[in-house]
Structure 1
Amino acid sequence: MPTPDIIVAEARSWIGTPYRHQASLKHVGCDCLGLLRGVWRAVMGAEPELPRPYSADWAEAGADTLVAAARRHLVEVEIADLQPGDVLLFRWRDNLPAKHCAIATSPDTMIHAHDGAAVAEVAFRPWWRRHLAHVFRFPG
């Protein structure tokens, strides 16, 4: 079972990785899901499933695919119970599916891959908190 410290340390080892849509290679490129997939591989082993190819705007008109996958492989927890190492899923509007993920590093910080930037640890500011839709924990 990976501890929160191990998950956070692995996520931090991805800082500086350039943003690359659908990629998941540390120091080479990743998107937000690719970051989560890479951390999973490092702390859990082989990925339980591979995502199908997806467009940059896949969530604007689709099902809540990201949440469904998280529910298959992670443990959902209450937002109020957020801890370092937890997976954060965000939606931009209440009526839209979740389309962004990050890993909490403290109650006030998170690591994510953002379009047009490298993987970074950022403040978990009020804007992000307003868009937080789900929190999941690695299994075990």
Structure 2
Amino acid sequence: MGEGDRRNAGGGASAVLRETRLWLRTPYRHQASALHAGCDCLGLVRGVYRALHGAEPEPVPPYRPDWAETGGRELLLEAFHRWLIPTGTPEPGDILVFRMAPGAVAKHCAIQSGLDRMIHAYWGRACVESVLGRWWRERLVAAFRFPPLVS
């Protein structure tokens, strides 16, 4: 099924979760966003966005693995606020954003896959489904929803 076919294959959270699950086991590759070939956490969100909505809303500039430690700006949150819908109570299908340390810039994202589960690309591993446990919940700083699907 091509991206155009997946875009029209249902709506809302169920479409997001169907697409996100296709990315499971995609190898971790910094800055990549190619289904089964490689992705990082942002690449996963970008790939799901493209499959559901077509072209990405803006180009992503090159970034180093330590981009958040050197810049100080909330680039990930700023971009998500431009193109996604903030939500106060995350639900399956929503994008979760994390700070890996107190006071640090938010730099990791995932897609919630169940009440206590999330799918994310994990450094040194692959795109995996993990428990959204206490450790992650304590680092959660924002949640966003993909825009509504257009038929």
TM over 0.5: yes
Runs of 4+ with deviation above 4 angstroms = none
Query: Percent identical across equivalent pairs?
Result: 49
Shift of 1:2: 3.7
Aligned CA RMSD, in angstroms, stands at: 1.1
For structure 2, the residue ranges without an aligned partner over 5 or more in a row are 1-9
Shift of 1:139: 1.5
Q: Which residue of 2 aligns with 1:122?
A: 130
Question: Counterparts of 1:71-82 in structure 2 under 5 Å?
Answer: 71-78=81-88, 81-82=89-90
- TM-score normalised by structure 2 residue count: 0.88
| Number of aligned positions between the proteins | 138
SS of equivalent to 2:135: helix
Letter in 2 for 1:8: L
- Greater Cα radius of gyration, structure 1 or 2: 2
- TM-score normalised by structure 1 residue count: 0.95
- CA deviation string 1:43-94 (max 9, x = no partner): 111100111000000001320000000000001111xx11111000000123
Q: Which residue of 2 aligns with 1:98?
A: 106
Say whether residues 1:25 and 2:34 are aligned partners: yes
Letter in 1 for 2:78: A
Do the aligned residues in 2 keep the contact of 1:102 with 1:112 (CA within 8 Å)?
yes
Do the aligned residues in 2 keep the contact of 1:2 with 1:44 (CA within 8 Å)?
no
For structure 1, the residue ranges without an aligned partner over 5 or more in a row are none
Question: Counterparts of 1:1-140 in structure 2 under 5 Å?
Answer: 2-62=11-71, 63-78=73-88, 81-140=89-148
Do the aligned residues in 2 keep the contact of 1:15 with 1:119 (CA within 8 Å)?
yes
